[in-house]
Amino acid sequence: MTPHNDSKDSKPCIGLLNPDQEDQMKVCGYRRSLMRTGFCWACIFLTGGLLRLVLHWWRHLYLYATCSQCSLEEAEQVLVTEDYQGKHKMYHVKQIQVLTSSNLKTLLEKEQQSIERTHIECDHVENVLQLSVHFTSAQFKKCSSIRIFRCKQLVYAWNNNTNRFQRINGLDLNIPCSYYHQQRGLPVHEQISRRIVFGDNEITVPLRDFKTLLFLEVLNPFYVFQLFSVILWFTYDYYYYACVILLMSVFGITVSVLQTKKNQDVLQKTVYNTGNAWVVDHKGLSKELPTRAIVPGDIIEIPSSGCTLHCDAILISGNCILDESMLTGESVPVTKTPLPSKRDMIFDKTEHARHTLFCGTKVIQTRYIGSKKVLAFVINTGNITAKGELIRSILYPPPVDYKFEQDSYKFIQFLAIIACVGFIYTLVTKILRGTDPVKIAVESLDLITIVVPPALPAAMTVGRFYAQKRLKTSEIFCISPRSINVAGSINCCCFDKILKYSILRERRERAILAVTKKVSA
């Protein structure tokens, strides 16, 4: 199945996301086709659901089968394609969402019930509020509705001026330094308008319940093949071997699901955002709001007792001493000074890091002159903060080429070719001998399960599980279990920090010893 362009207009059907950047991606627009959907489900019915299982493994094929390509402006779904150096292609199928003023009214009603911060009448909110969309250069576009989709925890919105989807950025791109000093806070309706588009100031981690994780793990191609093999062996009276493989599969699935669930919960606990912040409004008054309600453009007051920052902000008055070890690994406190107000100077997060307060860091102490408050201008919230980028790098790591994995796939493919040849030979010879059709089917299919080892994925899962336990006893924690299979061949380890303390040196030596000896054993 291949995509077709059914759109007859000249509007763009294919575009680029994040052009001129390392994470550039291609996006294509699609809309539902009743004829294609009906034909696809007819084929699924005729194949007994097998085709639907294949389309579950490759979601972009299901999109091709049920939708027709159209312009991005009219698309109901988009296909985002990532190409890593021409070696790996990853596909993301995303639904288009439409944000309107009704979303503003719902959020405003909730805000009025939880926080007394506005006197705007909710019945006339559509006439008062408009969505504030920002792409770059601090130019907020006002509109009554906006089409967006979310990919890898980032929001992309349709820009009518450029006729393409663009990433919604914070207030840190192509903005003069004097802009931050000219701002005096946001009125409440502007805060809510921006919050609808940017979302809550929370770093989101995709969470799935135990049932969903179990269902997705069972539908893994290897376990589907195991289930097929076990059913076939039961029909051929291989009871003992089938039961052993079944128990190994159940154990492997359970371990994998529990480990995935545990990692999700730990990561969610790490990024969970709680607490309040003092926000300065457009009248110069400070109000205490939940940190999730902060939006880019807000001015926050840094308390003298210190706090943990839940957003990226630029210091505009006063000094701060911060602990940035959570992001940099350095335990030495860092002093932050106010950003100079220069019209001809464009803010750069790298060059002006000494004026930037990053999300996740801790304010140890503040310094101010007289009665002047320590104020910071919020530039990024949620997933586009420094901490959010760190979490996204954990959730969506780039694919790594391991020779071990490449060779293992080639080995499986080679075995599959031998199995197909043996299947065809056995089928032909049995038919020529006039063997019973049921016996022909069972013996021919049984040959495939013998050539391609169905116990391989379960054995690999159990092996990785016990390898992780051995590593854990040496205080080594692995966030990528698939790397354990090749860890035994590592002969050089590189660190980006100088290990000054003896305890860290001992831990490093223990890690190298455990990886090179225990895992390879």
pLDDT tens per residue, range 354-412:
999 999 899 998 887 777 789 999 999 989 998 888 888 888 877 776 676 677 778 87
Query: Which residue type occupies 82?
Result: E
pLDDT in tens, 440-483: 777 777 777 777 777 777 777 777 778 878 877 877 766 666 67
Element of type H or E holding 38: helix 34-46
What mean pLDDT do residues 149-177 have?
88
157 Cβ contact partners less than 8 Å away, ≥ 6 residues apart: 133, 135, 146, 147, 148, 165, 166, 168, 197
Confidence label for 508 from pLDDT (cuts 50, 70 and 90): low
pTM recorded for the entire structure: 0.80
- pLDDT tier, 506 (very low <50, low <70, confident <90, very high otherwise): low
Q: Phi then psi for 97, rounded to 5 degrees?
A: -110, 145
Contact 218, 331 (CB under 8 A): no
The residue ranking higher by pLDDT, 163 or 331, is 163
pLDDT at 500 > cutoff 60: no
The predicted model gives 346-355 an average pLDDT of 87
Residue 120 scores a pLDDT above 60: no
Q: Average pLDDT over the chain, rounded to whole?
A: 80
For residue 45, give the H/E element and its range.
Answer: helix 34-46
- Distance in angstroms (rounded) separating the CA atoms of residues 158 and 501: 51
Q: Which residue has the higher pLDDT, 110 or 384?
A: 384
For residue 9, report the phi and psi dihedrals to the nearest 5 degrees: -90, 175
Residue 307: is its pLDDT beyond 80?
A: yes
User: Averaged over 430-442, what is the pLDDT?
Assistant: 80
Q: Supply the pLDDT for residue 140.
A: 82
Q: Any bridge partners for residue 146, and if so which?
A: 99
Confidence at residue 357, expressed as pLDDT on a 0 to 100 scale: 92
Return the closest-CA partner of residue 71 out of 8, 157, 113, 145: 8
Predicted pLDDT of residue 64: 93
Please give the backbone phi and psi of residue 134, each rounded to the nearest 5 degrees, phi first.
-125, 130
What is the CB-side half-sphere exposure of residue 348 using CA atoms within 13 A?
5
The predicted pLDDT at position 194 comes to 86
Q: What residues are labeled active site?
A: 496
CA distance 172 to 313: 10
- The pLDDT assigned to 67 comes to 93
Contacts 24+ apart (CB under 8 A), 154-157: 154/383, 154/384, 154/392, 155/197, 155/198, 155/199, 156/17, 156/27, 157/133, 157/197
